[in-house]
Amino acid sequence: MQAIEFETNIENGIVHVPKEYQSLQKASKARIIILVDNTSESPSTQPRRRPHPDIAGKLQILGDIISSAPETDWNLPK
């Protein structure tokens, strides 16, 4: 028995094995340990919005921007 470590993605419950590990494809038995990485964002989450670099840090807020639109328009997490 030998230990092989690699990072991969799981899509629709299928663990993708890198092509370098052809010995795994021919193996009759394997013990697979899956460590879930909760620190990275899942692909289903929306990326966080960021200002364009040309305007970042140059904005000046004048007045109350929160009451300028109904709360439902802000799409805030509950």
Asked, for residue 3, whether it belongs to a domain, the answer is: yes
How many domains in the chain?
1
Q: Hey, what amino acid is at 15? A: V
Distance CA 61, CA 68 (A): 12
Q: What is the pLDDT of residues 8-24, one digit of tens each?
A: 878 888 877 777 777 66
Asked, for residue 71, whether it belongs to a domain, the answer is: no
Cβ contact 14:4 at 8 Å? no
Q: What is the pLDDT of residues 21-72, one digit of tens each?
A: 776 667 777 777 877 776 655 556 667 788 888 888 887 888 887 777 887 8
Asked, for residue 21, whether it belongs to a domain, the answer is: yes
